[in-house]
A and B are shown apart, each in its own frame.
Chain A
């Protein structure tokens, strides 16, 4: 192919790629408009910090990688066959300097990123309680098939498929599961996720700083009802939270053994519900079911009856 045609075709390709990316970019921007891009929309300190860390890491990486990729493509273009002006040294030997540079540069970047990552991982460990002026509270979470049960041990109430939180107060979520495969508890606007597993209690510390309703779900597939297993996190003021809790206590919907066993049966798209009373230590009972498990081979809900009756 004559040289001029080839240069034109290269420019054509580059132009088309650029155009395509611009169109894609605009399209994406339009689609995003008005929607909750949760990871870029942090509503609590933890999510804020996680976003900052992501952007910092991505920034360092892009700063390192984009020049290399650009140089690679430029080199490919400059030393193309049709470019008679470029030097061709087929047998050139590169010395120790090249080797040193190509190992050192990625190595240094890896070290920098590790130095950022190590303390950040400790600072943002989900189990780490959040230091704040307000007194922390606890909410216990039990993932079931395919809904979420929230127990408020201090308020002695429970809810299904929605969780009420006060803003600016550190909340420690204690996470477990009952008669369900592993799921993960995730409110993307507030923090990253953590697994909920039978027989284990994971701790996830969150603090919300903006009022509003935020979506939550499981990030881990757990059976046919997985996609519908959503909940809402409602962040209100501390005062509103108190009055909400009082309101729930006045309902006549206790979470007794029968109600709990019914709840435990597999069901999808459960409506949100509130329970006015919860038996003391329900969460620990659920945990103990799996820690003291007998050598039975029944499916989980048989043992649920066993566990409840053992109390």
Chain B
């Protein structure tokens, strides 16, 4: 729930909603990416079995 605060800048109509949507999309992408790396590590054990850091992701 968003607290009713006195804000000095207008967050902009829809700006909270879009953050919720983007965070959800990123969450799903993150979930599948981890799943993919787990799956990959079954076949390439010992080699690059860590998911790339966030900087390297393409989403």
Interaction A to B: no
Report B's interface with A, CB cutoff 8 A: none
A residues contacting B by CB (< 8 A) are none
